[in-house]
Amino acid sequence: MSSQLIDGKSCAQAIRSEIAQEIVDIKSKDPSFKPCLAIVQVSDRQDSSTYVRMKCKAATEADIKTEFIHLNENTSELQLLEKVSELNENPSIHGVLVQLPLPAHINEDKVTSSVSARKDVDGFGPFNVGELNKKTGKPLFYPCTPLGVIELLKRYNVTISGTKSVVIGRSDIVGSPVAELLKSLDSTVTVAHSKTQDLQSYLESADIVVVGIGHAQFVKGEWFKNNKKGVVVIDVGTNYVEDSSKKSGYRSVGDVEFQEAIKYVRLITPVPGGVGPMTVAMLMKNTLTAAKREWENGGKLRKFEPLPLNLQNPVPSDFEISRAQKPKDIKDVALEAGILPSELEPYGSTKAKVSLKVLDRLQNRRNGKYVLVTGITPTPLGEGKSTTTVGLAQALGAHLNKTVFANVRQPSMGPTFGIKGGAAGGGYSQVIPMDEFNLHVTGDIHAISMANNLLAAALDTRMFHESTQKDGPLYKRLVPAKKGVRQFSKTMLKRLKKLGIDKTNPDDLTPEEVTSFARLDIDPESITWRRVVDCNDRMLRGITIGEAPTERGHTRHTAFDISVASECMAILALSNSLQDMRERLGRIVVAASKSGEPITCEDIGCAGAMTALLKDAIKPNIMQTLEGTPVFVHAGPFANISIGANSVLSDKLALKLAGVDSDTPVNLEKERSGYVITEAGFDFTMGGERFINIKCRSSGLIPDVVVIVATVRALKVHGGGPEVKAGAPLPKEYIQENVELLRQGCANLGKHIVNAKQYGLPVVVAINKMVSDTDLEHQVIKEESLKAGAFDAIVSNHWEQGGLGAINLGEGIIKAANQVDINKFDFLYGLQGTVEDKIRQIAQKMYGAADVEFLPEAQRKIELYTKQGFAHLPVCIAKTQYSLSHDANLKGVPQGFVFPVRDVKVSVGAGYLYALAAEIQTIPGLPTHCGFMNVEVTEDGEIEGMF
The CATH number of 835-916 is: 3.10.410.10
Domain 445-614: CATH class, spelled out? alpha beta
Would you tell me how many other CB atoms lie within 10 Å of the CB of residue 929?
A: 9
Active site residue 122: yes
Q: Single out the residue of 12, 45, 47, 15 nearest to residue 252, CA to CA.
A: 47
Q: Check for a shared fold between 318-442+616-821 and 835-916.
A: no
Question: Which amino acid, 179?
Answer: A
Query: What's residue 244's pLDDT?
Result: 79
Other beta carbons within 10 Å of 424: 31
Rounded distance, CA 752 to CA 758, Å? Answer: 10
Indicate the range of 73-87, 277-291, 419-433, 600-614 predicted with least confidence. Answer: 419-433
* Exposure of 867 in the CB half-sphere (CA atoms within 13 A): 11
Q: In angstroms, rounded to a whole number, what is the distance separating the alpha carbons of residues 520 and 526? A: 13
CATH ID of 318-442+616-821, from 2.60.120.10, 3.40.50.300, 1.10.10.10, 3.30.420.140? 3.40.50.300
pLDDT of 416: 67
- Average pLDDT, rounded, for the chain: 93
Cis peptide before 637 (omega within 30 of 0): no
- Helix/strand/coil for 239: strand
| pLDDT of amino acid 936 | 75
Among the residues of 724-830, which ranges form H helices? 739-757, 775-788, 798-801, 807-817
Q: Are strands 875-878 and 851-854 parallel, antiparallel or unpaired?
A: unpaired
The Cα–Cα gap between 141 and 128 comes to: 6
Judged against a pLDDT cut of 90, whether residue 447 lies above it is answered with yes
**pLDDT-based confidence at 528, cuts 50/70/90?**
very high
pLDDT in tens, 650-676: 999 999 999 998 888 888 888 889 999
What is the rounded distance in angstroms from the CA atom of residue 789 to the CA atom of residue 786? 5
Does position 81 have pLDDT exceeding 70, yes or no? yes
Q: What is the pLDDT of residues 490-504, one digit of tens each?
A: 999 999 999 999 999
Closest CA to 714 of 685, 690, 747, 687: 747
From 7, 83, 99, 838, active-site residue: 99
Q: What is the structure's pLDDT at 418?
A: 65
Strand order, beta sheet including 188-192: 4-5, 267-268, 232-235, 208-211, 164-168, 188-192
Q: How far is 945 from 947, CA to CA, in rounded Å?
A: 6
The SS3 assignment for 947 reads coil
Class of domain 4-294: alpha beta
The β-bridge relationship of strands 188-192 and 232-235 is unpaired
Q: For residues 415 and 419, give the distance between their C-alpha atoms in angstroms, rounded to a whole number.
A: 6
Is the pLDDT higher at 665 or at 926? 665
Number of other CB atoms surrounding residue 771 within 10 Å: 11
Q: Could you tell me if 401 and 336 are in contact, meaning their C-beta atoms sit under 8 angstroms apart?
A: no
Q: Determine if residue 760 is left, alpha or beta; phi over 0 gives left, psi from -120 to 50 gives alpha, anything else beta.
A: left
Please indicate whether residue 943 or residue 878 has the higher confidence score (pLDDT): 878
Q: How far is CA 234 from CA 204, 281, 782, in A?
A: 16, 17, 71
Residues of the chain above pLDDT 70, percent: 97
Single-letter code of the amino acid located at 226: N
pLDDT at res. 249: 81
pLDDT at position 419 is 63
- Distance in angstroms (rounded) separating the CA atoms of residues 846 and 693: 12
* Catalytic pick among 55, 119, 369, 402: 55
What span, in angstroms and rounded, lies between the C-alpha atoms of 155 and 718?
Answer: 75
Q: Name which of 771-780, 872-881, 921-930 the model is least confident about.
A: 921-930
Looking at residue 8, its pLDDT comes to 95
Determine which one of 120, 122, 561, 773 is catalytic: 122
| Chain centre to alpha carbon of residue 221 | 63
Give tens-digit pLDDT for 14-44: 999 999 999 999 998 888 899 999 999 999 9
Across the range 549-569, mean pLDDT stands at 92
E-assigned strand segments in 254-403: 267-268, 344-346, 352-354, 369-375
pLDDT in the model for residue 301: 75
CA–CA separation, 458 vs 178, rounded Å?
A: 73
In the chain, what is the straight-line distance between the N-terminal and C-terminal CA atoms, in Å? Answer: 85
d(CA 940, CA 947): 20
pLDDT (tens digit per residue) in 356-381 = 999 999 999 999 999 999 999 999 88
Distance separating alpha carbons of residues 345 and 10, to the nearest angstrom: 50
Between strands 943-944 and 936-937, the pairing is antiparallel
Go through the chain and tell me how many residues it has: 947
195 is catalytic: no
pLDDT surpasses 60 at 420: no
Residue 586 has what pLDDT? 97
Residue type, position 914, single letter: Y
Other beta carbons within 10 angstroms of residue 418's beta carbon come to: 19
- In which band, very low, low, confident or very high, does the pLDDT at 63 lie, cut at 50, 70 and 90? very high
**Mean per-residue pLDDT for 263-288?**
95
Using H for helix, E for strand and C for coil, what is the string for 838-881? HHHHHHHHHHCCCEEEECHHHHHHHHHHHHCCCCCCCEEEECCC
Average pLDDT for residues 179-186, to the nearest whole number? 94
Assign 333 to helix, strand or coil: helix
pTM for this prediction: 0.89
Q: Residue ranges of the domains in the chain?
A: 4-294, 318-442+616-821, 445-614, 835-916
The pLDDT, as a whole number, for residue 475 is: 95
d(CA 72, CA 41): 8
- Reply yes or no on whether 55 is catalytic: yes
Percent of the chain with pLDDT over 90: 81
